[in-house]
Structure 1
């Protein structure tokens, strides 16, 4: 993997500071897009199973991050169990933006304003590298799953459902 060639974001700054290798990928974001992960996969010519979306949820009063392939949905019960909570629900988008410092559709699991407990779906281990948001719409980071976990202090669990 190479050093960044895309835009500088808190995610790329954090990865560079940690010495974690990644590859930056930019693509043209369309304002009409509503499924940002599917758009990234299509624009970058990737399998949707290898592109992961970052979702912020509230679990027993705390914000947490679940990262799942764009082909699946976040199983909120599984996320709650993974973080030791009784239940979880998707966070209000404006709260997610304030706490992470990113806009919806560009929320990166890396370099968040407030570091949140992070859980990566176990299917990430099927790939040498996966793609996650780089911190803005139209910008993804290609990174090894183990390096993503190192950068976020995260864990893995079965989080995705069809």
Structure 2
């Protein structure tokens, strides 16, 4: 079990586990998960770490979309954001890129989940390693992440 699964069990948050054989050549981790698990890609969310140069933040958006750094910066109350350095993301979260779960990260970060999640019964996020997703209710993801809120994060352009 991963730290994400252990935390959900500890908090008694219901979730489902979905495992698949990760293709080491694949870099589109979320889309691969949706395809291999037979899930609607709009319900599979990716965990992205962003930085304002000093602090890291977590943005969770559907795998079919691109993050609006401008919208995320406005939500987090900072001037500008860039994608976090992969090594910094791994060090802060305790997970490998492609398997970064928004749940039970080593360092608790301010987190935003795209508001499109609210319309779904269940969403799927990384369970903490490549080839493992977990399904849960959007409100339960907010609870599990601690310092999380829904926000408009998708780039519409």
Same fold (TM over 0.5): yes
Equivalent residue runs for 1:10-89 within 5 Å? 10-59=3-52, 61-89=54-82
Please name the residue that 2:154 is paired with. Answer: 160
Unaligned runs of 5+ in 1: 1-7
Cα deviation for residue 36 of structure 1 reads 0.1
Cα deviation for residue 96 of structure 1 reads 0.3
Distance 1:16 1:84 in 2: 32
Please name the residue that 2:108 is paired with. Answer: 115
Runs of 4+ in structure 1 off by over 2 angstroms are: none
Please name the residue that 1:128 is paired with. Answer: 121
Unaligned runs of 5+ in 2: none
Is the 8 Å Cα contact of residues 60 and 86 (structure 1) preserved in structure 2? no
Distance 1:72 1:157 in 2: 14
- RMSD of aligned alpha carbons: 0.8
Q: For 1:33, what is the secondary structure of its paired residue? A: coil
Please name the residue that 1:5 is paired with. Answer: none
Distance 2:141 2:91 in 1: 22
Cα deviation for residue 161 of structure 1 reads 2.1
Is the 8 Å Cα contact of residues 60 and 85 (structure 1) preserved in structure 2? no
TM-score, normalised with respect to structure 1: 0.94
Cα deviation for residue 126 of structure 1 reads 1.4
Q: For 1:64, what is the secondary structure of its paired residue? A: strand
Provide the aligned length of Structure 1 versus Structure 2. 155
TM-score, normalised with respect to structure 2: 0.96
Cα deviation for residue 59 of structure 1 reads 2.6
Distance 2:81 2:139 in 1: 25
